[in-house]
């Protein structure tokens, strides 16, 4: 992945073979302040909603995408997917009173419809296949519930990009988390810490996804990113965003 920058906004861009673009934003370049400084994209935080909308519009301009075309869901740490046909309500640019439908994965086969998830330690995972593109919100619960394989089947995925999330250096877990992934074999635990990117990589690999790019950046260690665990819950959200070119 390579770092890109525009007007102070910086993001990682993954190679999806020229057919699609996947970007993972940092917290840099926005207008939010304090715990939410500065490119907070999450409405469901204690941040000023007006700032969040300004950040979202700024990000869309920097990425060169239509903010009205962005699809997103209300994330619940599940494996539910939304397949978007290009007619959805634009929650991203115009967050209203009613939240978007519950889903942790956004998928589409339409060109130039960005699929977005919000994260702050969970992994954003992009998939590309013959039937479209997907962006998934992957915490341990969603991974254990099978969100990667569900999305892989829908888009016929052959390429994937795993964005920044909490790394094996910082993700201490309880025995219930370790038990959820014993089917993936040994080597996922480092003491009491779990290697969640490696969980995602193994699930992708087992599902037949051949090209997998991993950011290898820990959001807890790297202060260019929001980290829910480091900030004890009071923090902003960055995004994973992918679209068909
Ligand atoms: Zn770390």
242 Cα: distance to centroid of ligand 1 (angstroms): 25
Token look-up 């889903």 returns 103
pLDDT tens per residue, range 190-243: 999 999 999 999 999 999 999 999 999 999 999 999 999 999 999 999 999 999
Residue-level pLDDT at 96 = 81
Kindly list the domain boundaries of the chain, sorted by start residue: 2-244
Residue-level pLDDT at 55 = 98
67 Cα: distance to centroid of ligand 1 (angstroms): 32
pLDDT tens per residue, range 134-180: 999 999 999 999 999 999 999 999 999 999 999 999 999 999 999 99
Token look-up 């090209």 returns 211
Contact indicator for 56, 93 with CB cutoff of 8 Å: yes
- pLDDT band (50, 70, 90) for residue 88: confident
pLDDT above 90 (res 98)? no
Residue-level pLDDT at 234 = 97
- Beta sheet of 81-84, edge-to-edge order: 81-84, 105-108, 132-138, 123-129, 157-162, 211-214
How far is the C-alpha of 233 from the C-alpha of 120, rounded, in Å? 9
195 Cα: distance to centroid of ligand 1 (angstroms): 10
CA distances from 117 to 83, 91, 129, 163, 171 (A): 14, 12, 19, 11, 21
165 Cα: distance to centroid of ligand 1 (angstroms): 9
* Cis upstream peptide for 134 (omega within 30°): no
214 Cα: distance to centroid of ligand 1 (angstroms): 15
pTM of the model: 0.98
pLDDT above 80 (res 89)? no
How far is the C-alpha of 202 from the C-alpha of 123, rounded, in Å? 14
Contact indicator for 161, 201 with CB cutoff of 8 Å: no
Residue-level pLDDT at 64 = 97
How far is the C-alpha of 35 from the C-alpha of 161, rounded, in Å? 28
Mean predicted confidence (pLDDT) in 96-113: 92
Mean predicted confidence (pLDDT) in 3-29: 96
pLDDT above 90 (res 128)? yes
Considering the domain 2-244, what is its CATH architecture? 4-Layer Sandwich (3.60)
Report strand pairing: 157-162 vs 211-214.
Answer: parallel
- pLDDT band (50, 70, 90) for residue 10: very high
69 Cα: distance to centroid of ligand 1 (angstroms): 34
- pLDDT band (50, 70, 90) for residue 90: confident
220 Cα: distance to centroid of ligand 1 (angstroms): 5
pLDDT tens per residue, range 38-65: 999 999 899 999 999 999 999 999 999 9
pLDDT above 80 (res 97)? no
């Amino acid at each position: 992945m390579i770092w890109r920058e525009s007007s102070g906004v910086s993001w990682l861009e993954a190679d999806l073979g020229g057919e699609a673009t996947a970007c993972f934003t940092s917290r840099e370049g926005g207008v939010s302040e304090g715990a939410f400084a500065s490119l907070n994209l999450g409405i469901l935080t204690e941040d000023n909603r007006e700032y969040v909308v300004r950040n979202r519009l700024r990000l869309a301009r920097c990425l060169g995408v239509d903010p009205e075309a962005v699809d997103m869901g209300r994330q619940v740490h599940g494996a539910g997917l939304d397949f978007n046909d290009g007619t959805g309500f634009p929650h991203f640019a115009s967050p209203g009173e009613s939240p978007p439908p519950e889903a942790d994965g956004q998928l589409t086969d339409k060109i130039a419809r960005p699929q977005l998830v919000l994260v702050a330690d969970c992994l954003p995972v992009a998939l590309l296949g013959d039937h479209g593109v997907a962006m998934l919100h992957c915490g341990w619960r969603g991974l254990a519930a099978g969100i990667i394989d569900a999305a892989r089947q829908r888009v016929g995925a052959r390429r994937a990009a795993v964005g920044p999330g909490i790394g094996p250096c910082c993700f201490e877990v309880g025995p219930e988390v370790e038990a959820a992934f014993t089917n993936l074999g040994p080597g996922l635990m480092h003491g009491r810490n779990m290697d969640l990117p490696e969980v995602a990589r193994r699930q992708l690999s087992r599902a037949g996804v051949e090209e997998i790019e991993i950011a290898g950046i820990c959001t807890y260690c790297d202060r260019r990113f929001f980290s829910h665990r480091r900030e004890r819950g009071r923090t902003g959200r960055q995004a994973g965003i992918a679209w068909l070119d």
